[in-house]
Structure 1
Amino acid sequence: MMRTRPLKVALLGCGVVGSEVARIMTTHADDLAARIGAPVELAGVAVRRPDKVREGIPAELVTTDATALVKRGDLDIVVEVIGGIEPARTLITTAFEHGASVVSANKALLAQDGAALHAAAEEHGKDLYYEAAVAGAIPLIRPLRESLAGDKVNRVLGIVNGTTNFILDKMDTTGAGYQEALDEATALGYAEADPTADVEGFDAAAKAAILAGIAFHTRVRLDDVHREGMTEVTAGDFASAKEMGCTIKLLAICERAEDGASVTARVHPAMIPLSHPLASVRGAYNAVFVESDASGRLMFYGPGAGGAPTASAVLGDLVAVGRNRLGGTTGPGESAYAALPVSPMGEVVTRYHISLDVADKPGVLAQVATVFAEHGVSIDTVRQQGKDGEASLVVVTHRASDAALGGTVEALRKLDTVRGVASIMRVEGE
């Protein structure tokens, strides 16, 4: 039987995502009610600009006083889609204190203060759901913390930012340079006017922190994630990648150490073989590869951003939280029992592609090989091209630690015969 008293929902933020949430709540009201077991009522919408026309939202529901809205005391669910750290953090904790559960899409806040928010939710017996914070419409958080709860996840490898994937895909398929591809992404609306959060990896790093925490039952904060942007990736890097049968993606990589005693989380550009499923992810799409003991390899693919896709994930959480509310229970909270240490980047082991500008004369290759050997980094392949006293030397290594590779590069820079280190890129997905 359906409960007649509606679940009251407040919406914090009514931009691209928030307006889609409100629209779907209205147009799919009957379906949502049937799925939850009670009608859903939009009880208030907090915005910064009250004079803006918002189609389908009654003017009397709009307010600029978000604090007063979450303090009402009669709300069942607060949906937070304003982003940022403050006032979102205070508004969420205030919502818990006044009896509401929370659905959020705020990756930055969850990556920084997820543990404190989970603790506040538990203290007040409320839900904190955030499927939309990591990969838009792609169901990922719920499979990790529920469907794979009986499995042991060892690795999460993925493309979790559509803007960067669009840019790198354009560079790969058209031969465009970074700036040209970024300009096209901006013109098409894929990149913000200030794309720093995307292209420097901050957005992906926040998502990696959330994914690692859930996958490994360990608290992983944004500061624990090694981050490198993709602004230095060149057309030459793509040419080298193609010669190796690879392409380049900005990857979020969360791994459990082979001995299971620690974890790592990192974001950086990497070469991956064209045979890997992530290599075929085009445009602004996202995809995440999960490797676990029992399930093996799983891939989740779809639109990772945008108003409607992100709203889809928000509404999915709203249905789950609404059902919990009616049943007088809560869903899964934070699972951090493993409390594994997060290892520094220097302990990460992978392969590397290093491009050097060197003097074109006898003995250079021997000098370079000696430096690699002295630092315990084994060379897999070497390719050299020379002309008019200048040469380019491309070295691909076997697996080595990041610390060992760093020491190798530092020593290479000191060689008189090495004019410069043109690029260093990790090789993943093999």
Structure 2
Amino acid sequence: MFNSPWRSDFPTLNNIHNTLPLIYLDSAATAQTPLTVIERMQRFYTHEYATVHRGVHRLSANATHNMEQARQTVAEFVKATSSDQIIFTKGTTEAINLVANTFLPTCAQAGDEIIITDMEHHSNIVPWQMLAERLGLTIKIWKMTAEHTLELDDLRHLLSKKTKLLALSHVSNVLGCINPIKAATAIAHQFGAAVLIDGAQGIMHQAVDVQDIGCDFYAFSGHKLYGPTGIGVLYIAKQWINTLPPWEGGGAMIDRVQLPMGTTYQTSPWRFEAGTPNIAGILGLSEAINYINHIGMDAIIQHEDRLIRYAEEQMRSVDALSIYGKRANRVGVISFNLGNHHAFDIGSFLDNYGVAIRTGHHCAMPLLQRLEQSVVCRASVGLYNDSQDIDVFVDRLQRIKQLLG
């Protein structure tokens, strides 16, 4: 057995359900939040509450300073060269939509191409479909192999001089597979295509260096990273930060407003952050990164790797359990079904036993179609999970198997 030395940092894990302690295996949807993050946000609301930008009084100036320090913390975390490459958004979805509505409309024309994979989250599919319909673009699909991997030769065959963007996930939210984002970025750039990485599942389980990856855009959400909901990040490479037009208009993003026309805009990052930002969320995200940095990403990766291997090994002892994805290339999540029983039934039984997992299509319908499934169960881990959580989870699966036959 091995324990998590960080479990006690997360107050929600003290919950009791049906007299049973909570086993939380739904971190891919939302990771639990450590007390330090909660306290940081509470301190802002209790002692520092004021809006940012232009305020000359002390509270406002302090809030502005702390927000920009948080931006620097995020920049250092993903190895951006400067904080003006970090745009605060509501989450990964808004970050991707920001790119869809600013980048391609300025450089693409009817007949140009976008490449996505068939393992993408709907947030990295639907914005491109909407844009393609509006601009007359073509969407091409980089299909995963029968072994649930992405082959770079298949990408090379899809790319052309008409390709304007490759958009792919760092880590699949269903299969947990780590995609070859660095190699794919280099190949796409050879054809003149920009690259967007959906890092919602990667940021929690992998050390991210956007300079090493070489991508043009990297998006992720705070609530996947032990931070609060309602806050996300878009990294924009240097060559784009002051050439992309604003997406939303309003306060804070302007330089000078004139009537009837003639408004000019701020430089990045403020040109992309119209209105009052989620200040508490930004500070909470920064504190979550401080928490992770204190532990060390290497320690987290080692713990989670050991945990996910142990979980898969133990789950294979359950008769009629089907596990999806490649064992050698998995982080964070294990998707499965138990015989012919509906995933919702399995999830409901587990909930009655105090075990929280996710069931459904996981906003990845095309991927589930490839798996020939309509819904699957998904167990996902965080740094607070340990071998005892897995043992309880597998024991409950065994009980359900006996009950349902």
Question: TM-score when scaled to structure 2?
Answer: 0.30
Q: Which has the higher contact order (CA 8 A, sep 6+)?
A: 2
For the pair shown, the structure with the greater C-alpha radius of gyration is 1
